[in-house]
Structure 1
Amino acid sequence: MDQGAARDDGVPPLPGAAAAISAHRRDEAGLAGLRDAVASGAEYVEIDVRRTADGVLVVHHDRTAAGVPLNRCSYARVRELAPDPVPRVTEALEIIGGRARGHLDLKERGCEHEAVELAREAFGEDGFVVTTREAGSIALIKRDFPGVTAALSVGRGLWERGAVRDFVPLRAIRECGADMVALNHRLARAGVLRQCARAGFPAMIWTVNAVPLMRRFLDDPRVAVLITDHPGAAVRLRDHRRR
């Protein structure tokens, strides 16, 4: 696919389109938070996807609950341990489907097929985007679900292994077959957004919460999706600037 060509899958193209908004981390308030995200007017609602020891796909950002890895606990035990609600992915998709586009952030390997199948049922193949830091997961999704939009997430902490490679991510993006790149806003400002745009990859920028940064990225035609913890504020700011 020509990455710079006009797209018909609902994801904004690289040039000339106002950025879409993705509501980030609203699932921490459980199903009520997801309903609030849908009501915010954001085009996308993000959920973090992990699997419990008994095979349940859940919406949870961290690898652990009360210090215990989720993949060593049953779903019932996770709900007992976690201080915040932990919805099932199926419950989350039921709330989002038909009201907003899906944004599934896969936090670990091994849940690609089930997560994508559930999302296809909830949104249709062109109604959601999958993001993940795992290049192998992107390659698997693009091999088995070539019509699904997938973005490689780039932006580790400087202390993490592989952080230096995040400043030159094009090889990894191309090799895994990603359609887009999901960039940490600091990397985006450090020239990585420019690299990706020149190579024809639309960008999702995370996680943008300060109003000056919202203005900067909403006005940038290289940005396809702005990911924020404050979707209502971002939508109002974008709509005001459009007017």
Structure 2
Amino acid sequence: MWESSSVTSIIAHRGASKVELENTLAAFRRAVTMGAHAVELDVRRTRDGVLVVHHNPTLADGRVIAQSDHRDLPDHVPTLDEALDACNPLWVNVEIKNDSSEPDFDANDTIADDTIALLARRAEGDRAWLISSFRRETIDRCRALRPTIRTAWLTVTIDADAMSGIVNDLAAAGHTALHPWHGTLTRDLIQRCHAVGLDVNTWTCDDAERMSELMVWEIDGICTNVPDVGLSRL
């Protein structure tokens, strides 16, 4: 069962993205120096099979990452390995971008295989990682491949009538957490998750008063562009 933690984890969304270019080594290093507890970042795969960190499927010039070789990407786009090095010693929420509406959609979830293989090779250990995705099949694949790595499902809205079934199913499948958008997050949802052993990490909250409210509700983690603000509310 879930046990209350005295400290909410402050998770730097794409690094310290308010003061540095998001999803860059500079943003990740700034999050570390700010004192964040964790970093969230986005993973995509290039045409030549390199896992890189970038939120959108396309670069600023319109090129599709999945149709580009790693050597042709801008210098500020790090590989996943480089990004994880920059985040050390924090734990990292690795969001696998795999949306059916985007040009790099991978229906077979082989990007999950590649991500798990990379994380498993690293020395930090499985507890250093939390893999999330909006695609439930992607985290299910990660869970099947390596159940010792934590997994979480990202959501925007959850229908109130379906809430209990969704929460119970997620827990029964062995996942670690639910990652709902803070704008639709309720205290009731947090309590339902905790009752079945799920953590709740919410995104992306930059408002100090809302952060404080979520902490009163015993939220496990807050993903934010302003980790310094979140830390000031602990």
Instruction: Return the TM-score normalized by structure 2.
Output: 0.81
State the percentage of identical aligned residues: 24
| Contact 1:208-1:228 within 8 A present in 2 as well | yes
Aligned-CA RMSD value: 2.4
Which residue of 2 is the match for residue 207 of structure 1? 204
Cα gap change, 1:72 to 1:143, in 2 (>3 Å): same
Q: CA deviation at 1:39?
A: 1.0
Which residue of 2 is the match for residue 69 of structure 1? 64
What amino acid is the match of 1:112? A
Matched position secondary structure for 2:81: helix
| Contact 1:25-1:229 within 8 A present in 2 as well | yes
Which residue of 2 is the match for residue 17 of structure 1? 6
What amino acid is the match of 2:39? V
- Does residue 1:50 correspond to 2:41, yes or no? no
Q: Distance in 1 between matches of 2:97 and 2:169?
A: 18
1:85-96 to 2 correspondence within 5 Å? 85-96=76-87
Report Cα offsets for 1:143-192 as digits up to 9, x if no partner.
Answer: 12111111111116xxxxxx759963325524643111111102213853
What amino acid is the match of 1:59? V
Matched position secondary structure for 2:127: coil
Cα gap change, 1:125 to 1:206, in 2 (>3 Å): same
Which residue of 1 is the match for residue 34 of structure 2? 40
Q: Distance in 1 between matches of 2:161 and 2:207?
A: 23
- Does residue 1:220 correspond to 2:217, yes or no? yes
Q: Distance in 1 between matches of 2:43 and 2:150?
A: 17
Which sits farther off after the overlay, 29-38 or 172-181? 172-181
Cα gap change, 1:165 to 1:87, in 2 (>3 Å): farther
Which residue of 1 is the match for residue 106 of structure 2? none
Report Cα offsets for 1:70-118 as digits up to 9, x if no partner.
Answer: 11111233328xxxx2111111111123x21121111124322332333
What amino acid is the match of 1:74? D
Report Cα offsets for 1:6-46 as digits up to 9, x if no partner.
Answer: xxxxxxx4x24321111112262621111101111111111
Which residue of 1 is the match for residue 111 of structure 2? 111
Which residue of 1 is the match for residue 193 of structure 2? 196
Q: Distance in 2 between matches of 1:165 and 1:86?
A: 39
Which residue of 2 is the match for residue 123 of structure 1? 124
Q: Distance in 2 between matches of 1:201 and 1:133?
A: 17
Q: Distance in 2 between matches of 1:61 and 1:30?
A: 11
Cα gap change, 1:127 to 1:93, in 2 (>3 Å): same
Q: Which segments of 5 or more consecutive residues in structure 1 lack a partner in the other structure?
A: 6-12, 157-162, 239-243
Q: Which segments of 5 or more consecutive residues in structure 2 lack a partner in the other structure?
A: 16-20, 99-108
Q: CA deviation at 1:128?
A: 1.8
Matched position secondary structure for 1:178: coil
Matched position secondary structure for 1:126: helix
Q: Distance in 1 between matches of 2:65 and 2:96?
A: 14
1:179-194 to 2 correspondence within 5 Å? 179-189=176-186, 191-194=188-191
Q: Distance in 1 between matches of 2:141 and 2:73?
A: 28
Cα gap change, 1:122 to 1:218, in 2 (>3 Å): farther
Cα gap change, 1:49 to 1:116, in 2 (>3 Å): same
What amino acid is the match of 2:33? A
Q: Distance in 1 between matches of 2:69 and 2:205?
A: 34
| Contact 1:196-1:202 within 8 A present in 2 as well | yes
| Contact 1:49-1:104 within 8 A present in 2 as well | yes
